[in-house]
Amino acid sequence: MYHAIVFLPLAGFLIAGLFGRIMGARASEIVTTSLLFVSAALSWVVFWQVAYQSGPVHVTIVNWMTSGGLAADWALKIDTLTAVMLVVVNTVSALVHLYSIGYMHEDPSRPRFFAYLSLFTFAMLMLVTADNLVQMFFGWEGVGLASYLLIGFWYEKPSANAAAMKAFVVNRVGDFGFLLGIFIVFVMTGSVAFDQIFPKAAEMAGKTFHFLGYDWNAMTIACLMLFMGAMGKSAQFLLHTWLPDAMEGPTPVSALIHAATMVTAGVFMVARLTPLFELAPTALVVMTVVGATTAFFAATVGLVQNDIKRVIAYSTCSQLGYMFVALGVGAFGAGVFHLFTHAFFKALLFLGAGSVIHACHHEQDMRNMGGLRKYIPYTMIAMLIGNLALTGFPYTAGYFSKDAIIESAFASHSPAATYAFLCVVIAALFTSFYSWRLFFMTFFGEPRWKHHDAHGHEDHASAAHGRDDHAHAGHGHGDHTPHESPMVMMIPLAVLSVGALVAGAVFAGSFIGDNYEQFWKGALFTAKDNHILHDIHHVPLWVKLSPMIMMILGFVIAWWFYVKNPALPKQLAADQPILYRFLLNKWYFDEIYDFLFVRPAKWIGSFLWKKGDGWLIDGFGPDGVSARVVDVARGAVRLQSGYLYHYAFAMLIGVAILVTWYLVGGAH
């Protein structure tokens, strides 16, 4: 059963990837989707068994590598943390596969798309079932590769290629830190296997190494490097720039990357390595600060975005910040719980956004929507449920996990606790505002799509190739009336809606409640002096009420701006142009990075090309000494005329020179 969960997606990738053209698109869709649903069903069985019945399981597949002291098995570590991730990854991936059958129904490259989806899922499964750091890194790089392929799926589109390369390059920065962390752990413990590293963590905590004239704490540096990897993969502040651009891929890709797989890999990695991070308080403080800053920063940018998918993308970035705040203050269960609930409502929001885009014939700008509640009521209900869960409406999924993180930040004794608490509370206000802004701009108000079409809006049915949702080419010829999505797309929305509503209430007691110890069974290590999940029950009432107050306030402001007085946002943007442009341009991080890194790199490359390669190497090599040798050779070739009297004449000249030399100087 454990082998099937991991390898069925790989089988789907191989079948669709190798034989997709022979089988055809429909067969590729059916095979890959069916295998994912089997894997998802088995994942729920394993989750029930491991978390509530038998306990952890270890499955060795094969000895992978042995080199000196480095030994790594290819093995599956199935404990509660892994079981949670199996459920999240396979459930969302299966629903995304099903949704994509309708969403991508006219794309000619469907076999390739479904093969990539299955490859992505397999890589993530390799990561979450890893028994050691080497296997985890294999899965880590695998999801990086698959994300590159999926983000750049429409490779005819230059912006898609650029976004794919940006995601790949930015993640390499984080991966470099992750590798350094793995090296430090191996040097200090002599192993990469978790079962051998964790018992030695206490010994490693007191070790130092000398570098650049200083003695550095080995555990702190190792954890900071590992967290650097998490920052890249989970799009934390400073390494976040790739995530919004990942919207260039098809919408199902966005749901898979942002909800259940790639971006949660960093959170999972930190949760898996809690025995190390618990002994590195400085690294936890850094994690808390970065997570809180990310939550606040991404929420501010989401306030003014107009692309429906980018709003949800920045929401993902912000919610990942919440997760790292929880991990940083030691509330590991709350962080993983939010990962679990977030997967349902964020996948719901992305797939709901895809349904809106499908209804609007490829339009993604919310300024060209409005009044859609009459045309796509079921999609509106799904988006409403997703919004309620995201903003933390009482007893929805987000209410339990998000509020637990806010209370944990307040209850923590970390030096960064106050800063984190303020950031996540303010982010809760912003989250509510931009979520309801999206909802009201899309489903309420005047139908701006009619006005847009009447003034020469481009018919994307004929010009859609190479932009998002071009898969639906042909849907809108002659009729631009929005329409509800087909049933194959609505079923995943219905399933995810149930998860967004009840996942928090059903599992809160297990993840962060009274059944914490029995549920996790040591999968999350908690130090003896870490009582934060107990302390959150004793925070003041105003702390418990603050998320709800922020949620209500954000809703009221959004309603006032976009339903009651729609002219107010434009007026506010005109009154505060500097702030508006600052947020609209994402704090100018892309421009700053372009100035600091991209342009200097291009200048250095151009200089080395023109001066180093062209002037120096070519000038003294191919165009210098080599060229002179060629010239001499060509001159020598001309002497070989083939006429006998030429050669006889040359011989006589040689004899004359030899006799002259002998008579003048040779005799002496």
Query: What was the pLDDT predicted at 457?
Result: 39
The Cα-based distances of 249 to 221, 253, 305 in angstroms read 36, 6, 18
| Residue that is last in its domain, among 548, 569, 584 | 584
State the pTM of this model: 0.86
Q: Which two tokens stand for residue 544?
A: 């418990």
Average pLDDT taken over every residue of the chain: 86
The reply to whether 18 and 109 lie within a common domain is yes
The reply to whether 531 and 500 lie within a common domain is yes
The reply to whether 370 and 490 lie within a common domain is yes
| Residue that is last in its domain, among 584, 602, 632 | 584
pLDDT class of 665 with cuts at 50, 70, 90: confident
| Residue 152 pLDDT exceeds 80 | yes
| Residue that is last in its domain, among 545, 566, 584 | 584
pLDDT class of 450 with cuts at 50, 70, 90: low
The reply to whether 392 and 261 lie within a common domain is yes
| Residue 454 pLDDT exceeds 50 | no
Q: How many CA atoms lie within 13 A of 288 on its CB side?
A: 29
The reply to whether 167 and 34 lie within a common domain is yes
Mean pLDDT across 515-519: 85
Query: What was the pLDDT predicted at 481?
Result: 78
Query: What was the pLDDT predicted at 477?
Result: 40
The reply to whether 557 and 618 lie within a common domain is no
Backbone angles phi, psi at 79, to 5 degrees: -120, -170
Q: Which two tokens stand for residue 489?
A: 């797309």
How many whole angstroms separate alpha carbon 253 and alpha carbon 116?
A: 10
pLDDT class of 125 with cuts at 50, 70, 90: very high
| Residue 389 pLDDT exceeds 90 | yes
State the residue range of the domain holding 73.
Answer: 2-60+69-472+480-584
Query: What was the pLDDT predicted at 510?
Result: 87
Q: Which two tokens stand for residue 190?
A: 């002599």
Query: What was the pLDDT predicted at 335?
Result: 92
| Residue 513 pLDDT exceeds 90 | no
Mean pLDDT across 77-83: 91
Total tally of structural domains belonging to the chain: 2
pLDDT tens for residues 392-449? 899 999 899 999 999 999 998 889 999 999 999 999 999 999 999 999 988 887 887 6
Mean pLDDT across 522-549: 88
The reply to whether 611 and 565 lie within a common domain is no
> β-strand 70-78 against 208-211: which pairing, if any?
unpaired
The reply to whether 563 and 594 lie within a common domain is no
Mean pLDDT across 142-158: 88
The reply to whether 145 and 175 lie within a common domain is yes
Query: What was the pLDDT predicted at 459?
Result: 34
Radius of gyration of the chain (CA): 31
Residue 65: CB partners within 8 Å, gap ≥ 6?
Answer: 71, 72, 134
Query: What was the pLDDT predicted at 451?
Result: 55
Q: Do 121 and 92 form a contact (C-beta atoms < 8 A)?
A: no
The reply to whether 615 and 560 lie within a common domain is no
Task: Identify the weakest region by mean pLDDT among 208-212, 234-238, 506-510.
Answer: 208-212
